[in-house]
Amino acid sequence: MVGTFVFILAGPILWAIQLTAIYGSQSALCAAGIGTSSGGGNALVLWSVVIASLIPAGVATWAILAPAASYRLLAGERGDAAQWGFLRGVMRLLTGLSILAMAYAALGAVFLPECASLR
């Protein structure tokens, strides 16, 4: 039962993990001044954003491509076909939106210095 819900919510959960990881590491590193250059850049932050985005996005992509396998992993045996079609459809779309949200968040690091206040 819990597994079924985790399966549906896999994408958003991964998105939440990504946001926590990138925002947490960025604000902690910037606040502590670890690795920040004079212009407000910080390679450490950049790398943590890249890594913390690629891993959840990769897992999410796998879930979209292999829904049956991920369901088995999380919830065990599938119920009837109509129910499965609904669960799979919801999971895929949610995960797709979550990957988009992850990409949006990571995009900031492409355009902006990591620690500058930009005012």
**Contacting residues toward other proteins, per CB under 8 A:** 1, 4, 8-9, 12, 15-16, 19, 22-23, 26-28, 30-32, 39-40, 45, 79, 82-83, 86-87, 89-90, 93-94, 97-98, 100-101, 104-105, 107-109, 111-119
Find tokens 């491509």 and name the residue: 65
Site of tokens 């819900």: 5
Nearer to other proteins, 28 or 69 (CB): 28
Q: Which DSSP state fits 111? A: H
Instruction: Supply the minimum distance, in Å, between the C-beta of residue 37 and other proteins.
Output: 11
Closest separation in Å from C-beta 108 to other proteins: 3
Residues 6+ apart with CB under 8 A from 19: 105
Contact 40, 33 (CB under 8 A): no
